[in-house]
Amino acid sequence: MNLARRMESFAESATMEVAGRIAQLNAQGKNVISFAAGEPDFDTPDFIKEAAIKAIRDGLNKYTPVAGNDAIKTAIIEFTKKTLGVEYQKNEVIASLGAKHSLYNISQALFDEWDEVIIFSPYWVSYPNQVLLAGAKPVFVNCPAANGFNPDIEDLKAKITSATKAIIINSPCNPTGAVFSAETIRKIAEIAVNDDVYLISDEIYDAIVYEGARPLSPVTLGDDVKRRTVLVNGFSKTFSMTGWRMGYALGPAPLVAAMTKLQGQSTSNPVTPMQFASVAALKDLSFLAPRVEEFRKRRDAMVAAFNALEGVACVNPAGAFYAFPDFSGWIGKSIDGEAIKDSVHLTNLLIDKAGVGPVPGVAFGAENFLRFSYALSMAQIEEGIQRLRAFAAKLS
Ligand SMILES: *Cc1c(COP(=O)(O)O)cnc(C)c1O
């Protein structure tokens, strides 16, 4: 097959690959507890399902305007005003088929070949690949675990060049669960203004935070920052609607117009009944607090268990539903006579010998770390912890 050259410029989604492999092993009768899920284990709330069913029954099944109908744009604008206190106009909003699609549209509409895009590392797997697919160059800025996975601002300053087009922020962060401090966000915004750089703020986990952690959105920092920022959010994580494919972006009208033009030649509008269901979703978040509380309990159990394992250290994540422990102390040790080489090797050994399936940190740019999602039941988490302890006991 003579495929287009651009297909070699980027990689397949590593998280989806690992989750798929674990599912396949379980289908073959193996018993692997998957900590690889990138989605809530909770189901979509009933009132949202009902709204979708009603829309379908009411015959709301035709095309809408490419960027979404008036109802969803209005609902997103009102929701953003309520949660962030920031106002947007209808020509500054576009609904897409998931936040990933919004981010793809942004990268295609904004990045030229040779542009540099700053990505904080550890990073969500799709950022570098979407940047590469646009022909641009990802430039990584490290967020050390010792710094609570907040970026080293001096490193950020050093990496800004005349070719820097944008900085991607993801707070709360997948994979670390870190919420960037207000000071960090302010400093990044100041750099963006001074160096004339755009900000892409992926706030998909903003509603899943613990102990009053308040992720600061750069769009709240005044017009100078807001007019160079595109805010991305979606329904997948907050509303347990991953399969429904609904996300959105809010930003400068010319960028939204370009994204709409691109979407008009690729997917057209997001699925019409889902737009109506999403309008209903944005009006009632009362279901969410007990779910976040359940996530918090699981997080506490996992983080405590990791920190009790010799050679493992885990920063307490303030948001999202991932723990990102450092397994450096296990690299170089042996299990059943086999020396552990790196995070991919450790993941494979954990899957095969312990029946525990995380995602290797190298997929997120952080060798020797593993990502454990806690979007699974407390019973499964406890069983997984037992299995990890048994594995640890065999290390030499
Ligand atoms: C899950 C996720 C997304 C994409 O979500 P959609 O399902 O496409 O809305 C975007 N960014 C991060 C960091 C995510 O974890």
> What does the alpha-carbon distance between residue 140 and residue 135 come to, in Å, rounded to a whole number?
16
365 close to ligand 1 (CB < 6 Angstrom)? no
| Residue 202 near ligand 1, beta carbon < 6 Å | yes
Q: What is the distance in A from the centroid of ligand 1 to the CA of 236?
A: 7
CA of 45 to the centre of ligand 1 (A): 19
Lowest mean pLDDT across 21-25, 78-82, 297-301: 21-25
Say what the pLDDT of residue 269 is: 98
Ligand 1 close to Cβ of residue 204 (< 6 A): yes
Q: What is the pLDDT of residues 309-339, one digit of tens each?
A: 999 999 999 999 999 999 999 999 999 999 9
Distance 192 CA to ligand 1 centre (A): 24
User: How far is it, in rounded angstroms, from Cα 119 to Cα 126?
Assistant: 11
- Ligand 1 atom at minimum distance from 242 CA: 7
Q: Residues, the chain, total?
A: 396
Distance 106 CA to ligand 1 centre (A): 14
For residue 121, the model assigns a pLDDT of: 98
Whether residue 122 has its Cβ less than 6 Å from ligand 1: no
Find out whether the beta carbon of 247 lies less than 6 Å from any atom of ligand 1: yes
Q: Is ligand 1 within 6 A of the CB of residue 124?
A: yes
Q: Which ligand 1 atom sits nearest the alpha carbon of residue 202? A: 11
Q: How many other β-carbons are positioned within 10 Å of the β-carbon of residue 257? A: 15
Percent of the chain whose predicted confidence (pLDDT) is above 90: 94
d(CA 217, CA 230): 11
Q: Would you say residue 367 has pLDDT above 80?
A: yes
Q: What is the mean pLDDT of the chain?
A: 96
Q: Which atom of ligand 1 is nearest to the CA of 102?
A: 8
Ligand 1 centre to CA of 311 (Å) is 31
Please state, in angstroms and rounded to a whole number, the distance separating the CA atoms of residues 336 and 220: 54
Ligand 1, pocket-test mutation among 13, 173, 174, most atoms within 8 A of CB:
174
| List of domains in the chain | 5-31+287-393 (3.90.1150.10), 62-281 (3.40.640.10)
Q: What's the predicted TM-score (pTM) here?
A: 0.96
* Residue 12's pLDDT band (cuts 50, 70, 90): confident
**Residue 234 in contact with ligand 1 by CB distance below 6 A:** yes
What are the pLDDT digits (tens) for 158-204?
A: 999 999 999 999 999 999 999 999 999 999 999 999 999 999 999 99
pLDDT digits (tens, 9 = 90+) for 200-235: 999 999 999 998 778 999 999 999 999 999 999 999
The reply to whether ligand 1 has any atom less than 6 angstroms from the CB of 170 is: yes
Cα-to-centroid distance, 39 and ligand 1 (Å): 9
Q: Is 203 in the pocket of ligand 1 (CB under 6 A)?
A: no
- Output the pLDDT for position 301: 97
| Residue 97 CA, closest ligand 1 atom number | 8
